[in-house]
Structure 1
Amino acid sequence: MAQKLIPEAKQGLNKFKMETAHELGVNFTDYNGNLTSKQCGSVGGEMVKKMVEQYERNL
């Protein structure tokens, strides 16, 4: 298994994921097997969208 470059990033990304899910009305928990692929994908897609927007603002 590859070593993580920034171990502290996992906690921050998890917080970001939960905040994004809450904004979208997706009930994320420790177990997400009851969610659809569309629901889970919408959270990931929104996270990427926000990260790209932040990067573009910093250019």
Structure 2
Amino acid sequence: MRTRVLHPDAKLAIERMKFEIAQELGIQLPPDGYYGHMTSRDIGTIGGYITKRLVEIGQQQISNRY
């Protein structure tokens, strides 16, 4: 099952977050978008930080509601 995007701007926001996190970690992302030459460790690190940041954002939104 494919993950579907619930908000049209979400994909762009995740892409921006990916580049921001990679820059913070000092990981150079390829300009052509092909990640085949990157290590699994680097890609996994970026993905882990994206997940962590999304959870933090969700927790902030939930705490602001209640």
TM-score by length of 2: 0.72
- Please point out which of 28, 31, 35 is paired with 1:32: 35
Structure number with greater Rg is: 2
Aligned counterparts of 1:2 and 1:49: Cα–Cα separation in 2: 19
> Which ranges in structure 2 are unaligned for 5 or more consecutive residues?
none
Alignment correspondent of 2:48: 45
Identical aligned residues as a percent: 34
1:12-38: per-residue Cα shift (whole Å, max 9, x none)?
A: 110111101111111112111111101
* CA–CA separation in structure 1 for the residues paired with 2:44 and 2:3: 25
Q: Which residue of 2 is the match for residue 23 of structure 1?
A: 24
With structure 1 as the length reference, what TM-score do the two structures score?
0.79
Could you list the structure 1 runs, at least 4 aligned residues long, displaced by more than 6 angstroms after superposition: none
CA RMSD of aligned residues (A): 2.0
